Structure 1
Amino acid sequence: MKVTVRPFLFIRDALGDQREIEVKLNSSATISDLLTTLRREYGLPDEIPIGRGVFELFHGNEVRNMVILKDGRNIRFLEGMETKLEDGAEIALFPPVVGG
């Protein structure tokens, strides 16, 4: 199956400034499998240098500082990292955003 990944802001920069990435996965893949593929095959780093600091995306296999949407829904309200993917799913990767 294929899913479309849309990274935003400096996550996009870390993935070569690609607006969309089509990723091939097996038919039983989860969000966890997708992130493993993005790390291994597309170079998604564990940390991203920001200014004089470092922005941590992963600590081991734990996801940090990233909001993940599957077809517009936050995976925190689905099955988290075990959320199953379907052919044609759209995944958005955002760093956390704050403002006022």
Structure 2
Amino acid sequence: MTEWKLFADLAERAGDKHVAVEADAGDTVGDALEDLLDGRPELEDRVLEDGDLRSQINVLRNGTNVLVEEDGLETELEDGDELALFPPVSGG
């Protein structure tokens, strides 16, 4: 069991800031993302575009952006991992 932390409008679309999914150690971040989006079409539309992760969405595992510093959605999960999903951040 793995838990996602969702921020800003992503939490609103999912209905909660914390969502547990069935992914376990050995599964990938992509597997956990599929579990998160399953049955949540509003969230899926916000996170995916034509079946691929939108470029401005950030996916973190234990505070590290897996898309930049790890193997992307193929990053394997370990016991106790914390996953987080961030929408684009704009400054001013």
TM-score by length of structure 2 reads 0.84
Compute the displacement of 1:86 (Å): 1.3
Compute the displacement of 1:80 (Å): 0.5
Aligned length: 89
Unmatched 5+ residue regions in structure 1?
48-55
The residue type paired with residue 47 of structure 2 is L
Aligned pairs (5 A) from 1:47-86: 47=45, 56-64=46-54, 65-76=56-67, 77-86=69-78
CA RMSD of aligned residues (A): 1.6
Quick check: which one's helix share is greater? 2
Quick check: which one's strand share is greater? 1
| Structure 2 counterpart of 1:92, from 62, 79, 84 | 84
Deviant stretches of 4+, over 3 Å = none
> Computing the radius of gyration over CA atoms, which structure comes out larger, 1 or 2?
1
Unmatched 5+ residue regions in structure 2?
none
% identical equivalent positions: 30
**SS in structure 2 of the partner of residue 46 of structure 1:** helix
